Structure 1
Amino acid sequence: MDPNNAPNNNAKADVDSRNNTNANNHSNFSSNLTVFTITRMGNPEKANIEKSFLKKAEASVRFSPLVRQVLASSGPIVLTISSGMTSGYSAILLPQLEHENSTISINTDQASWIASMAALPMALGCILSGILLEKFGRRMAQIITAVPFIIGWALIGMATNIEMILIGRFITGLCVGLTGPASSVYIGETSDPKYRGFLLAAVSLAIAIGLFIAHLLGTFMAWQTVAYISVLMPLACIGLLVFVPESPTWLANKGYLKKAEDAFFWCRGHSLEAVEELSALMQKQSTIASEKVSWSRYKSPAFWKPLLIINLFFITTQFSGVNAVAFYSVSIMQDTVGEGMDKYVAMMIIDTIRLVMSVVACILTKKYGRRPLTNISSVGTAVSLVGLSSFLYVSKMYPAIANFSAIPLGALIGYIVFVTVGLVPLPWAMTGEVFPQSLRGVGSGISTSINFLAFFIVVKTSPSMTTYMQPYGAFLTYGCAALIGGVVLYLFLPETKGKTLQQIEDHFKGEGKKMQDDNKAGVV
């Protein structure tokens, strides 16, 4: 049994003394919460009731809360793997379509449309996801998303002409946008503060896994086969989500208090700390229910402050060239090792580095805070890009320098390492943490749509930048963007590691000064 489910008597007494007021407001929710409340009210039979509560809690937790939280997160993570496969699919699709034996022939213009078609609807998908999250729930939004994901991949697999491929790419791209906010919000609302950073960082790991799988399968299989295999991911997501509850936060917001309590205890166990957080959640729900829905919520610092910070984070990530540099990674790898190196091998080496560092990012996010990783990642990313830019510039002036090919390779690997441990996973992780309870779906939808708009702008402008500014000029620009964005994030990014979602919301309202002071966080 998880040790959190059997706290010692001193801890119980300390929690009792701190939360007497909260318990009085929520004594009518259910038997478990009632027992907890009575113990907080100084009942003469406190000791026996508390003992009975803990015994019941111990008997009810057959699997540790961590196991259940991992199970709850597995559905969103599997669906996100399909998003990664969507992003990596064009890299294996286009070479096969351009082959002389291809049953579907394409020209250069059609190839560019295939590559960009998935990116076009991603921002729209994020906005629609915010609506689905609030109307149908976090869990159901993902089940709804999985259905068109299956249809999109099936259309690509069955395609006999370019139009079917484009339609399939558009649908899967839309689903990538739908998946982004839903996965982060659901994981954030079902996980314990101790594990939330690790589980949210696994979303970016899932993207890396999806890229790796798509490129690996495409190296050995036909593009149609890869598309059919990709159908398995959204199917598996539906199967996994059947066995987990809806987000307790969403259920509480909609007034389903008993279901919210059951879902919360299923995910978090029956520790006194968990009951304390549930009490705060219910209290917040009663406050939301008494408020009139108006634009004043959107003008609250609890909403616009995290919205600005997360938008800045996403823009910094995209304008650090995370996707643009990837397009040149294979050529840099080939130039370093030699022209005889197969481009698929070079691509798999880069994917492996990215995958390994995504695993490292999950571990680091669990151990360290968001702020230290952001600072290290932004500075390391900037230094790597400036180093790569400097080498390309000097080698253009002095061709003999080009023989030192290990330098750009080292800069490239350094870039992948630093950008993957911070700038890539953390904005996605914090999207599921920083927005207020009543507007979490809307906030995550807006911020992730900004991310995909920035993604589209960077990818669209990168060819022109490398033409008119040369690659060294483009890389220098991306490096400066990473450094400037990192400085601003250093000033304003709060630390959320180990904090409950309510503590984070209170911080942005100006009621969480202790959270800020304890973590030396930004000045928001």
Structure 2
Amino acid sequence: MTSGYSAILLPQLQPEKKGPISVDPEQASWIASMAALPMATGCILGGILTEKFGRKSAHVLTCLPTLIGWLIIAFATNTSMLLVGRFVTGICTGMLGPATGVYIGETSEPKYRGFLLAGISFSVSLGLFLSHLLGTFLHWKTTALACSALPVVSLFLMLFVPESPSWLAKKGKIKKAENAFRWCRGASDSAKKELTIMLQRQNLQSQEKEKNLGEKLRELAEPEFLKPLGIIAVYIVANQWSGVNAITFYTVSIMKQTIGDGVNEYLAMLVVDVIRVLMSILACVLLRRLGRRPLAIVSGVGTTLALFTLSAFTYLVTVYPKVADESYIPLTALVAYISFISIGFVPLPWAMIGEIFPLRNRSVGSAISSFLAFTAFFSVVKTSPGMFSDLGPAGTFSIYGTVACLGTVFVAYFLPETKGRPLHEIEDEFRRTSKNVYTVTDNN
């Protein structure tokens, strides 16, 4: 809802609306990007909270400030209050970045992990749809009040779930770790085996002497950490620079530029949102049934073709204005773009953050990856108005399409397959390919 809110807020702040607050284009770009600006910093804070206090606790600690941020927006009387409220909700969103995927990855059974991690993307899509739906029919202040209910609900729900078993084991709370693991995973043979391996590894790590800062930094320079970090970093930046959040933040204005005046842009926005939600549900199913790599490649190819179609159409409109009458072409391409990017490019990087980093550096890897994601997020949201103004829709969509194409080629060569594999097997695979040494497994 934080990401989607600006799309319905900014049109209501235009001077012609004669509301209590009006903004010029420069102020509008700052209001939109102000939520994205602190998200990267929030990731660092979230990584610290996730490591020091636990994955669940990091979620709980963000609920109250998120509520305060939405209330500031709801009762704003000037642009400064809007910026403060957007900043607070943005930094809280960033703080959740490292904890969410890691918590789901550490508490879920391998065969269901992809499905559950894809729930992150589904929840984002649902939040976008709800904020756009409410904002289409309600005043922006009322919409902000509705959004403020979410952190309250979240706090209530989080009280009933345990802390991450892996984190508890890492902190030496073995009995609590065992109880939490059984609560999450039951007592099947595969679950017992994974619990035993997790505790064995934690026992070995606890016997190591306390590392100083230099040793910890050298640990982060090891290939078994840098390799997954590099893969996620490239993939997640390609994800952002494929333009999905630019379209999310400026949906209404982009609809006007791309489709023209012949289509109700608010209705088109809601149609796109519904498709995004449906595709996010489909992504959950596909991640349960298919591997990561095939889904990534299909998603990337479809996203690339849709963006180049949008680029070609908007260019032809400038040369042959009558082409603009065929508004179904850009709308179809936009729907295809949202569909393809929502089944792979959007959910996969966030899902794999919770899978591919080694346990001892999982919080750090997640924080760095989320930091890069939200930094790219901010850069896209802040620059997209200028790009659409200076390069036009054709040039902007062309750039986004090129990035999507390059990202697809990259993941086709380097993205590992993690479907159905326990986290310790994924960790061992990176260690073997990086160092070619034999490490502790369930066989020794």
- Give yes or no for TM over 0.5: yes
Amino acid in structure 1 at the alignment position of 2:388: T
Q: Secondary structure at the match of 1:510?
A: helix
Structure-to-structure mapping, 1:364-403, within 5 angstroms: 364-403=286-325
Q: Secondary structure at the match of 1:160?
A: coil
Q: Deviations over 1:412-449 (max 9, x none)?
A: 11111111110001001011111111111111111011
Partner of 1:298: 220
Counterpart-to-counterpart distance in 1, 2:140 and 2:317:
39
Partner of 1:122: 39
Q: Deviations over 1:179-219 (max 9, x none)?
A: 12211111111000011101110101101111111111112
Asked if 1:285 corresponds to 2:202, the answer is yes
Asked if 1:421 corresponds to 2:338, the answer is no
Task: State the Cα distance separating 1:455 from its structure 2 match.
Answer: 1.4
Match of 1:148 among 65, 78, 103: 65
Counterpart-to-counterpart distance in 2, 1:159 and 1:482:
38
Asked if 1:347 corresponds to 2:263, the answer is no
1:131 to 1:336, Cα distance in 2 relative to 1, 3 A: closer
1:390 to 1:86, Cα distance in 2 relative to 1, 3 A: same
Q: Deviations over 1:108-131 (max 9, x none)?
A: 433332222111100000111110
Partner of 2:283: 361
Amino acid in structure 2 at the alignment position of 1:112: S
Structure 1 unaligned blocks of 5 or more: 1-84, 514-524
CA contact (8 A) 2:118 2:351 kept: yes
Task: State the Cα distance separating 1:327 from its structure 2 match.
Answer: 5.9
Task: State the Cα distance separating 1:306 from its structure 2 match.
Answer: 0.8
Amino acid in structure 2 at the alignment position of 1:88: G
Partner of 1:89: 5
Structure 2 unaligned blocks of 5 or more: 436-444
1:487 to 1:249, Cα distance in 2 relative to 1, 3 A: same
Amino acid in structure 1 at the alignment position of 2:333: A
Q: Deviations over 1:256-314 (max 9, x none)?
A: 01100000011000011101000110111012212342223212222111111111111
Task: State the Cα distance separating 1:512 from its structure 2 match.
Answer: 10
Structure-to-structure mapping, 1:128-167, within 5 angstroms: 128-167=45-84
Amino acid in structure 2 at the alignment position of 1:423: F
Counterpart-to-counterpart distance in 1, 2:13 and 2:252:
20
Partner of 1:474: 396
TM-score by length of 1: 0.78
Counterpart-to-counterpart distance in 1, 2:255 and 2:390:
23
* Stretch of structure 1 that moved more, 127-136 or 289-298: 289-298
Counterpart-to-counterpart distance in 1, 2:70 and 2:19:
19
Task: State the Cα distance separating 1:370 from its structure 2 match.
Answer: 0.7
1:375 to 1:168, Cα distance in 2 relative to 1, 3 A: same
CA contact (8 A) 1:386 1:476 kept: yes
1:127 to 1:327, Cα distance in 2 relative to 1, 3 A: closer
Task: State the Cα distance separating 1:396 from its structure 2 match.
Answer: 2.7
Counterpart-to-counterpart distance in 1, 2:379 and 2:21:
29
Q: Deviations over 1:465-517 (max 9, x none)?
A: 3344332122122111111111111111100110111011111101699xxxx
Structure-to-structure mapping, 1:149-228, within 5 angstroms: 149-228=66-145
1:121 to 1:365, Cα distance in 2 relative to 1, 3 A: same
* Stretch of structure 1 that moved more, 225-234 or 303-312: 225-234
CA contact (8 A) 1:329 1:350 kept: no
1:114 to 1:401, Cα distance in 2 relative to 1, 3 A: closer
CA contact (8 A) 2:240 2:377 kept: yes
Partner of 2:28: 111
TM-score by length of 2: 0.92
Q: Which has the larger radius of gyration?
A: 1
Counterpart-to-counterpart distance in 1, 2:237 and 2:107:
27
Partner of 2:441: none
CA contact (8 A) 2:55 2:99 kept: yes
Partner of 1:255: 172
CA contact (8 A) 1:332 1:409 kept: no
1:388 to 1:91, Cα distance in 2 relative to 1, 3 A: closer
CA contact (8 A) 1:92 1:223 kept: yes
Q: Secondary structure at the match of 1:167?
A: helix
Asked if 1:507 corresponds to 2:423, the answer is no
CA contact (8 A) 2:115 2:285 kept: yes
Counterpart-to-counterpart distance in 1, 2:39 and 2:299:
26
1:405 to 1:164, Cα distance in 2 relative to 1, 3 A: closer
* Stretch of structure 1 that moved more, 359-368 or 324-333: 324-333
Q: Deviations over 1:312-344 (max 9, x none)?
A: 111111111212344675467557877254332
Identity among equivalent positions (%) equals 54
Partner of 1:495: 417
Amino acid in structure 2 at the alignment position of 1:210: G
Q: Deviations over 1:151-187 (max 9, x none)?
A: 1112222223332222111100001101122111111
Counterpart-to-counterpart distance in 2, 1:161 and 1:462:
25
Amino acid in structure 1 at the alignment position of 2:310: L
Counterpart-to-counterpart distance in 1, 2:83 and 2:254:
30
CA contact (8 A) 2:7 2:249 kept: no
1:197 to 1:378, Cα distance in 2 relative to 1, 3 A: same
CA contact (8 A) 2:257 2:393 kept: no
Counterpart-to-counterpart distance in 2, 1:442 and 1:336:
40
Task: State the Cα distance separating 1:462 from its structure 2 match.
Answer: 2.5
Aligned length: 430
Counterpart-to-counterpart distance in 1, 2:137 and 2:250:
23
